[in-house]
């Protein structure tokens, strides 16, 4: 509703009221009110610094702090009345503060602007969100490690080009997912470090004439340091773009997981079964059990990719310093955080409830001549050059295709027609267990290597938690 009784804090320059539609169109309070806690946190720190510098009295500081805490209590109790006429979270809170404590409330904005205020609020908020996201990533990683440990010996076909390539263990496959998430956590750690620089005190764009202490404000708010340049401080949105880029990469990883889970849980593969709690049925086909959770996460990846492109496009043509365009940074950023956290949460819960159909995996691993490379390696160990061994095995595979039998199903005589170097001991390397056990090195798929990797991974997670 258009409230003409509210006098805007900047109204002194204007002779006519804001058009009702323009007022609603330009207001951001509908979405930026979620920053209220950080706006109040920043304001209390700002008032504390102003009092230390003698710009406010101790009594004014205390009145501002207690008044802001009362406003926060009202917001959290659901009794606070947000006004579109006051445009944003900042003006709504400041106006409510002034109504509560009087003249001292009008002094809070001394030495700052909404430009450095919003840049500070978003960084404070996103810093906390990154910490929560890191916890959800670790929770998913722990679920993957638990499942990998349970399935360290389970044979799974490894694929290239979605064709059976070599046998691996399911535990080894899950550890690949773990490593992808490790890189994601590193990216968010780097992003948080670069983001933890305080814009407050840059004011509108040029700084302020008041004798403020920005180092003290940064200390109060837990920033590593204040921003060096006032123009950059108020107009920089690199941190939002970098965060969304890291989120997009993580969602790309979850989408790849989703694709595999969807394939594996289909009747054609039948490798795994997802818990009923993470699937839905069909309104017309009573037999259906649809993997809706991984499908939806796969779809949400595109949504977050779009937010990344939107933020890049938002910033690409902006001159220094702050422009109203930057109001458009918050909704895609908020949506990215919400959907990323939701996707991680549901994945961490879902992966702890995956059932493996080990025999189906094993049967699939026996198809497609998955131990052909093992036969080539066997020949190399018997003195045959690899390229010659490759050709010999290729001919043996062609024979097996014609006969409709895997290499392990051929007789010794049939194999020896391709090389007399093949002896009875070849069948030990042509088994699935022999194949995976032979990859017995750091990073290999051998079950004992998988278990060692799990121990190292848990140590990494536990060490970082203590730090």
Catalytic residues, by residue number, are 161, 282
Give the residue from 177, 172, 224, 234 showing the smallest Cα distance to 202.
234
CA distance 350 to 238: 33
The CA angle 16-22-25, to the nearest 5 degrees, is 155
Contact between residue 123 and residue 330 where contact means Cβ atoms under 8 Å apart: no
Structural tokens at position 277: 């709690």
The strand pair at 197-198 and 225-226 is best described as parallel
CA distance 426 to 407: 10
What is the residue whose two structure tokens read 């994945």?
347
CA-CA-CA-CA torsion for 229, 235, 239, 242, nearest 10 degrees? -120
Backbone angles phi, psi at 347, to 5 degrees: -70, -45
- List CB contacts of 241: < 8 A, sequence separation 6 or more: 308, 311, 312, 315
> What b/e sequence results for 439-454 when a residue is b if at least 16 CB atoms lie within 10 Å of its CB, and e otherwise?
beeeebbbbebbeebb
Give the residue from 288, 290, 271, 268 showing the smallest Cα distance to 279.
290
CA distance 165 to 19: 66
Structural tokens at position 71: 């406003």
Which residues are bridge partners to 155 per DSSP? 169
Instruction: Compute the radius of gyration of the chain from its Cα atoms.
Output: 31
> What b/e sequence results for 151-188 when a residue is b if at least 16 CB atoms lie within 10 Å of its CB, and e otherwise?
bbbbbbbbbeeeebbbbbbbbbbbbebbebbeebbebb
Reported as half-sphere exposure (CB side, CA atoms, 13 A), residue 76 has a value of 9
User: CA end-to-end span of the chain, whole Å?
Assistant: 50
Q: Is the link from the previous residue into 321 a cis peptide, with omega within 30 of 0?
A: yes
Give the residue from 315, 317, 438 showing the smallest Cα distance to 375.
438
Contact between residue 317 and residue 280 where contact means Cβ atoms under 8 Å apart: no
């Amino acid at each position: 509703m258009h409230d003409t009784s509210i006098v805007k804090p900047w109204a002194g320059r204007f002779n006519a009221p804001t058009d009702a539609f323009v007022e609603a169109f330009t207001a951001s309070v509908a979405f930026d009110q979620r920053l209220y806690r950080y706006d109040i946190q920043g304001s209390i720190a700002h008032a504390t610094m102003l009092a230390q510098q003698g710009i406010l009295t101790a009594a004014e500081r205390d009145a501002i702090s207690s008044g802001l805490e009362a406003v926060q209590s009202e917001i959290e109790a659901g009794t606070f009345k947000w006004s579109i006429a006051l445009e944003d979270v900042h003006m709504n809170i400041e106006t409510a503060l002034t109504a509560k404590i009087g003249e001292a409330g009008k002094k809070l904005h001394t030495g700052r602007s909404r430009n450095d205020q919003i840049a500070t609020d978003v960084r404070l908020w996103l810093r906390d969100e990154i910490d929560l996201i890191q916890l959800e990533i670790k929770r998913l990683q722990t679920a993957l490690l638990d499942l990998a440990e349970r399935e360290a010996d389970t044979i799974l076909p490894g694929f290239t080009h979605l064709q059976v390539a070599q046998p691996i263990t399911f535990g080894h496959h899950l550890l690949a997912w773990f490593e992808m998430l490790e890189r994601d956590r590193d990216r968010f750690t780097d992003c948080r470090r670069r983001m933890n620089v305080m814009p407050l005190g840059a004011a509108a764009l040029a700084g302020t004439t008041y004798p403020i202490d920005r180092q003290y404000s940064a200390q109060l708010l837990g920033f590593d340091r204040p921003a060096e340049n006032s123009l950059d401080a108020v107009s920089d949105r690199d941190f939002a773009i970098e965060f969304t880029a890291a989120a997009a990469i993580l969602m790309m990883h979850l989408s790849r997981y989703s694709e595999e889970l969807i394939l594996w849980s289909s009747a054609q593969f039948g490798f795994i079964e997802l818990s009923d709690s993470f699937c839905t049925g069909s309104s017309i086909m009573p037999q259906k059990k649809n993997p809706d959770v991984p499908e939806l996460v796969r779809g949400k990846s595109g949504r977050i990719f779009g937010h990344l492109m939107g933020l890049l496009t938002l910033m690409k043509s902006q001159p220094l310093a702050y422009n109203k365009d930057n109001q458009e940074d918050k909704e895609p950023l908020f949506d990215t955080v919400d959907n990323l956290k939701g996707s991680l949460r549901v994945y961490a819960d879902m992966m702890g409830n995956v059932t493996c159909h080990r025999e189906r995996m094993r049967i699939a691993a026996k198809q497609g001549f998955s131990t052909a490379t093992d036969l080539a390696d066997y020949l190399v160990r018997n003195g045959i050059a690899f390229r010659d061994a490759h050709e010999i095995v290729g001919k043996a595979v062609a024979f097996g295709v014609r006969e409709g039998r895997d290499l392990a199903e051929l007789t010794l005589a049939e194999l020896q027609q391709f090389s007399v170097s093949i002896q009875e001991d070849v069948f030990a390397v042509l088994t699935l267990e022999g194949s995976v056990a032979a990859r017995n090195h750091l990073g290999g798929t051998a079950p004992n290597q998988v278990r060692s990797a799990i121990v190292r991974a848990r140590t990494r997670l536990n060490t970082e938690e203590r730090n």
